[in-house]
Structures are given as structure tokens and as C-alpha cells.
Amino acid sequence: MWDGLYVVYVLPTPDGLATLDGASRYGLTATRKIGDAVRRNRAKRLIREALRTCEAELRPGLDVVVVARARAPHISFVEACRSLEALLQRAGVLTSSPSTGERGSTVRRAETPVGETAR
């Protein structure tokens, strides 16, 4: 059963750790469940590049953690971008999306639902 490509966690950057320009920080993780080092590194490269494509739309001052799931190294770059953008949109952290309440009030978690493809 397919359980999605990524899980995304978003929190505001703590004041003491904020960068001078207020840029967001990213964390990527791929566990051994994904496969050997080659597959884990491919999954992280896809996530890193997908984040770069939507970085301009991401609100400043956020800590974003992306967790790769088992199917992540087996997809195309276009699929990776669509999935990550859809998850960030659902988390309400893209500037093109409406705000979902006070920013940083809680941890937001977005996951591609089982059987649903990212658009």
C-alpha cells in the first residue's frame, strides 16, 4: 500500500536562531527503510531541488523538516516538486496560500494521503 511521498513539519524559527535576513531553514531526512545509501541520497537530492523551486514562495522565518517516505527515490523530479508544493500549500506556509490562523501557533504536519497523488 502506498502511504505518500513525504511528511512535512513546519515551525517558526526561534528568535535566537533566526538568520539575519529571516530566511527559512530546511532539514531533510531519509531513513534506512528507503533503501541503501544511493537511494537515500537520491531522495534527499530530489527534496532539496524541489525545495529550491518553491523557496521564493515560502514564508520567511520558518523551520521546515521534510521526511522522505519509501517511494520517494523512485519518482521523477516533476512528481517530487508537485508533491512537495502540495504539502507546503496544505501546511499553509506558501505566500500564495491563505493564512490558516496565527503563524507558528502549533506544529503543522502535512502528508500526502494514502492513494492520492499530489497535484
Separation CA 25–CA 65 (nearest Å): 9
In a domain, 118, yes or no: no
84 located within any domain: yes
d(CA 67, CA 27): 8
pLDDT tens digits, one per residue of 41-86: 999 999 999 999 988 888 888 889 999 988 888 888 999 888 888 8
Q: Cell 519509501 appears where?
A: 70
Within a domain: 34: yes
- Answer yes or no: is 27 within a domain: yes
pTM: 0.71
- The pLDDT value given to residue 106: 43
pLDDT at position 45, please? 92
| 29 within domain boundaries | yes
Instruction: Specify if 69 maps to a domain.
Output: yes
Tens of pLDDT, residue by residue over 21-40, are: 677 888 999 999 899 999 99
The span from the CA of 59 to the CA of 96, in Å, is 9
**Which CATH number covers residue 90?**
3.30.230.10
Quick check: is 45 in a domain? yes
Q: Is 116 part of a structural domain of the chain?
A: no
Which residues span the domain enclosing 31?
6-110
Closest to 35 (Cα-Cα) out of 75, 76, 70: 70
- Say what the pLDDT of residue 114 is: 45
Domain count of the fold of the chain: 1
